Amino acid sequence: MKKYRTAIVGLGRMASTIDDEVRDSLSDWIPYSIASACKEIEAIDLIAGADILPEKLEAFKERWGVEALYEDYLEMIEKEKPDLVAICTKGELHAEMGTRVAEAGVPMIFLEKAIACSMKEADMLLKACKDNNTLLNTGVLRRFNRNYRKARQLIENGEIGNIRSIAHFAPTNLLHGHIHSVDTIMYLLGDPKAKSVWGEILPRDTKIENNRYDKDPSAIYQIEFENGVEAWTINAGNWDFEVWGSAGSIKATDNGVGWVIRKPSSDKKRVYDEVPFPESEGPSATTYCLLDLIEAHNQGRQPIGNIDVTHHATEICLAIAESHIQGKRVNLPINNRDLYIWHV
């Protein structure tokens, strides 16, 4: 079996230690960190890591037994020649690092979300991936989770009829949080293109001046997709999603822990019966994300969370801020490619 040489940039939480945080609450998602997923996948050889902080380099070496450690990630790529690079740094660095890794000729990239803080950055990364035939998946992991994948399959098979609307329930910020909600909505609907977006930054009197906001603000939105389906986020809840069709709904509750299908009652008008959600199997979301990258590389196809999909999800998020600035619904693509929303 071919072993794919894999290196990680940014050796903190997502790269190395997040499993310790979620072991009790999200045990089904473990392996969660990139390093632990790499160690589980037989086809991956975790060979190197890069970070500007010496203490993180030492902690990563001690925890994962990786000897090839660098402060300069481009030097690491030049010397170690990885097949796959996982970028787990701060959000404001994602687009630049992703672009430079693609331009360095690395064939596969895992890039933490969000991929960019502006559409100018996202466009740059899109071009670099296209020009260099680099495959990319991002850390919007619900689309790689076994239950969300099962839900999409049920929806595609007509379990709840023709899709009419979808709602997300949770208060969250724009790029750190809503990139997840937008991407999950897109995924459950089969990744349609958005036609227009209405959005507001909270609190509503928030001013975005000089085309830049150096915080990641809370936000609400409504999306109109080209296929006629509409999506909403409700500023309350516990990361619930509900997809409504002509023959019922599928709902995820408590951040995907609970799942239920609701169908119209056969003997009572305006009453819905609950139907058990089918059991699903498969690896953790992080493991599946990396496996999908490798399989896409081997099969000559685009990965599930490819650059086109994540570029579009990023544009929807930034369109929310642009709608807030203009005070009206905006069409996609947005003209303002320079609007910058900071992301930690």
Residues 284, 22, 256: CA angle, nearest 5 degrees: 60
pLDDT, tens digit, 9 for 90 and up, residues 147-190: 999 999 999 999 999 999 999 999 999 999 999 999 999 999 99
23 pLDDT higher than 90: no
Q: Do 249 and 332 belong together in one domain?
A: yes
The confidence score (pLDDT) of residue 344 equals 80
The confidence score (pLDDT) of residue 83 equals 98
Residue 130 lies in a domain: yes
State how beta strands 108-111 and 84-87 pair: parallel
The confidence score (pLDDT) of residue 22 equals 80
State how beta strands 272-276 and 258-264 pair: antiparallel
Which one of 94, 119, 141 terminates a domain?
141
Which one-letter amino acid corresponds to residue 344? V
pLDDT, tens digit, 9 for 90 and up, residues 202-229: 999 999 999 999 999 999 999 999 999 9
Whichever domain contains 9, its CATH number is 3.40.50.720
Residue 210 lies in a domain: yes
Which one-letter amino acid corresponds to residue 240? D
Produce one character per residue of 260-272: b if its CB has 16 or more CB atoms within 10 Å, e if not.
Answer: ebbeeeeeeeeee
The string of DSSP codes covering 198-210 is EEEEESTT---BT
pLDDT, tens digit, 9 for 90 and up, residues 69-126: 999 999 999 999 999 999 999 999 999 999 999 999 999 999 999 999 999 999 999 9
- Distance between CA 261 and CA 248 in Å, rounded? 7
Produce one character per residue of 157-186: b if its CB has 16 or more CB atoms within 10 Å, e if not.
Answer: eebbeebeebbbbbbbbbbebbbbbbbbbb
Which residues, 6+ apart, have CB-to-CB distance to 90 below 8 Å?
10, 344
Q: Of the ranges 17-31, 72-86, 282-296, which one carries the lowest mean pLDDT score?
A: 17-31
- Distance between CA 243 and CA 61 in Å, rounded? 44
Q: Do 52 and 188 belong together in one domain?
A: no
Whichever domain contains 318, its CATH number is 3.30.360.10
Going by pLDDT thresholds of 50, 70 and 90, the confidence category of residue 25 is low
Produce one character per residue of 98-123: b if its CB has 16 or more CB atoms within 10 Å, e if not.
Answer: bbbbbebebbbbbbbbbbbbbbebbb
Q: How many distinct structural domains can be found in the chain?
A: 2
The confidence score (pLDDT) of residue 177 equals 97
The string of DSSP codes covering 114-152 is PS-SSHHHHHHHHHHHHHTT-EEEES-GGGGSHHHHHHH
What number is the average pLDDT over the span 36-56? 97
- Distance between CA 148 and CA 253 in Å, rounded? 12
Given a contact cutoff of 8 angstroms between Cβ atoms, the answer to whether 184 and 148 are in contact is yes
Given a contact cutoff of 8 angstroms between Cβ atoms, the answer to whether 151 and 250 are in contact is yes
Q: Do 20 and 72 belong together in one domain?
A: yes
Q: Do 258 and 194 belong together in one domain?
A: yes
Going by pLDDT thresholds of 50, 70 and 90, the confidence category of residue 266 is confident
Higher pLDDT, 25 or 289: 289
Higher pLDDT, 217 or 29: 217
The domain in which residue 236 lies consists of 143-281+312-341
Q: Do 117 and 57 belong together in one domain?
A: yes
Please give the share of the chain, as a percent, with pLDDT higher than 90: 94
pLDDT, tens digit, 9 for 90 and up, residues 295-326: 999 999 999 999 999 999 999 999 999 999 99
The confidence score (pLDDT) of residue 186 equals 98
The confidence score (pLDDT) of residue 268 equals 72
Average pLDDT over the chain, rounded to whole? 96
The confidence score (pLDDT) of residue 270 equals 81
Distances (CA, A) of 133 to 99, 130, 225, 307: 12, 5, 28, 11
Which one of 141, 166, 190 terminates a domain?
141
Which one of 141, 157, 185 terminates a domain?
141
Q: Do 21 and 167 belong together in one domain?
A: no
